[in-house]
Structure 1
């Protein structure tokens, strides 16, 4: 019996890269032309960030909540679970994220403040919205395999992290947990397949640690008063 240290991440992959990318293509084919609507929705969110309205904070949070619930059912439960049994256990976490966005996100102030953290969040959001769909082409895969915000989990998680980094509110950090966990899980999957997008997912997770680390650093010690 081989020793445990002789195994690599490829040994734990439950499907071939071809099967995974074909699943993305089938998902896109089934939902087209919803992709156009999602890109327009992303553009609207960007406009609301730059020029917030009295109602835009609740609309942004509600929109993200719907997208996470949609991803839980349409991608994880209906498709990904057919090739990866673990997806059926991840889907409830996506549903939890949707609930958190609806309850906590509606209390946040979603706007662009042009600070360092917010600018990093803006860069992540713009990447997920405008550049991530081209990752498939750069990797030599067909355009029908493009991953689009609101359609597939990776760009949705990246965009969500970016938006949360632009949000202001006491419990904003709580909304980072599930997207960061997904980015790490997706990084492990893409790493085992040798996909170049893996580094984007890992980089996003590291960037998301910045607001969490700052919050921990700002927390008063036991001998101090807030």
Structure 2
């Protein structure tokens, strides 16, 4: 018994990984192939959200929350449930959290109208828009920077990492309200899980989801202090 318990000290993080990096990136490539050309529509809708963040209107605040909610459900079903769960059984327990995030966005943002953007520039708004811009425009280009095939690009609205980072950005850019912290929890948790997974795979850029969480928390805290 003590021998078995002592064996735990010999395990490394990669020993708990249920798949190889090659299988993971191949999964993303297959997902992109199966959904093409819907990535173009996802980028267009992401641009619509960005426009609402830059030039907010009363109706655009509710639309932003609704579009992000749809994206959370879409990613949960098409990627997490139908694909990622085939190589990682633990993801099946994450799917309900993605649906919960969508319900929170609908409840607080679309129905109650609590997601409110502002035209006034501030540190939180700047950080939030920067996070969203990265998730929408730069994250899909990451494979080129790190030497992977562009077929493994992760596009907003199609994959969880850019979606979580974009949601963190949107929430950081809003007027500070008490509800913002609960809505940050699930995107932040996913970014932390993604960071651990990518870091275990020794993937270049693994630190990006972690940095997104740090920036979002810093932005919300700044807004709270101010």
What is the TM-score with the length of structure 2 in the denominator?
0.91
- Alignment of 1:164 with 2:164, yes or no, is no
- Which runs of 5 or more residues in structure 2 are unaligned? none
Aligned to 2:127: 120
Task: Judge conservation of contact 2:62–2:109 (CA < 8 Å) in 1.
Answer: yes
Aligned to 1:185: 193
Note the alpha carbon deviations across 1:97-153, whole angstroms, 9 max, x for none.
Answer: 000000012322034532011111111111111111111122221111100000100
- Alignment of 1:143 with 2:137, yes or no, is no
Where in structure 2 are the equivalents of 1:1-226 lying within 5 Å?
A: 1=4, 3-106=7-110, 107-168=114-175, 169-211=177-219, 213=221
The separation in 2 between residues aligned to 1:192 and 1:31, in whole angstroms, is 28
- State the aligned residue count: 218
Q: Please report how far the alpha carbon of residue 215 of structure 1 lies from its aligned counterpart in structure 2 after TM superposition.
A: 7.6
Distance 1:124 1:8, change over 3 A: same
The separation in 2 between residues aligned to 1:194 and 1:54, in whole angstroms, is 44
Q: Please report how far the alpha carbon of residue 170 of structure 1 lies from its aligned counterpart in structure 2 after TM superposition.
A: 3.1
CA-atom RMSD in angstroms: 1.7
The separation in 2 between residues aligned to 1:113 and 1:4, in whole angstroms, is 53
What is the TM-score with the length of structure 1 in the denominator?
0.91
Distance 1:14 1:131, change over 3 A: same
- Which runs of 5 or more residues in structure 1 are unaligned? 219-226
**Poorly superposed stretches of 4+, deviation over 4 Å:** 211-218
